[in-house]
Amino acid sequence: MGGKSDYEHLAVTSELLTQLGVPHEVRVVSAHRTPDRMFEYATTAEGRGIEVIIAAAGGAAHLPGMVAAKTVLPVIGVPIPATALNGMDALLSIVQMPKGVPVATMAIGKPGAANAALFAAAILSGKHPELRERLAAFRSAQEAAVLRDAILV
């Protein structure tokens, strides 16, 4: 994430990855304030066993795109509502990547942060069948919760 304050939106990402049994790390790496650290993080991620990167940022939100430019790993971008524009600036920054440098862009804020975890798990589940089973169980539980609450009167 671009800054520590972003974690309030991303806590759900870590919680869901933990629930699904996906090992992960949470780091503050700013594209603007710590560019050398960001380059090092992105270029060494694959060698450290990372298979998918979730990068979240608000405002100019260059972190996901810059990370994607420095690695061939899948990068999932989460726009954070950090400015007066409520995340629209971040969304447009992340989604408008040039041809050849893809970033899978999620929704703004906590819903996007949750979906980033689920999308990362879906990507990883192709290589890890046990994760595919946990993801399927998560989706079944989600469906059961909706059906349980479907009758209002």
CATH classification of the domain holding 22 = 3.40.50.1970
The pLDDT value recorded for residue 152 is 75
Confirm or deny that 36 is annotated as ligand binding: no
Among 57-61, 70-74, 110-114, the range scoring the smallest mean pLDDT is 57-61
Q: Is the pLDDT of residue 58 over 80?
A: yes
pTM: 0.94
The domain containing residue 18 runs over which residues?
4-148
What's the pLDDT tens digit per position in 94-112? 999 999 999 999 999 999 9
Q: Is residue 13 part of a domain?
A: yes
Ordered DSSP codes for 8-60: HHHHHHHHHHHHTT---------TTT-HHHHHHHHHHTGGGT---EEEEEETT
Provide the number of structural domains found in the chain: 1
With respect to residue 141, please indicate whether it lies within any of the assigned structural domains.
Answer: yes
Tell me whether residue 77 is in a domain: yes
- Reduce the DSSP state of residue 81 to 3 states and report it: coil
User: How far apart, in whole angstroms, are the C-alpha atoms of residue 29 and residue 151?
Assistant: 45
Q: Is residue 153 part of a domain?
A: no
- Residue 33 labeled ligand binder: yes
Q: What is the pLDDT of residue 103?
A: 99
Residue 83 pLDDT level (bands cut at 50, 70, 90): confident
pLDDT at 19 over 90: yes
* Residue 78 within any structural domain of the chain: yes
12 domain-assigned: yes
For residue 25, name the pLDDT band (cuts at 50, 70, 90): very high
Q: What confidence score (pLDDT) does residue 51 get?
A: 98
pLDDT of residue 65 exceeding 80: yes
Residue 86 Cα distances to 58, 90, 96, angstroms: 9, 9, 17
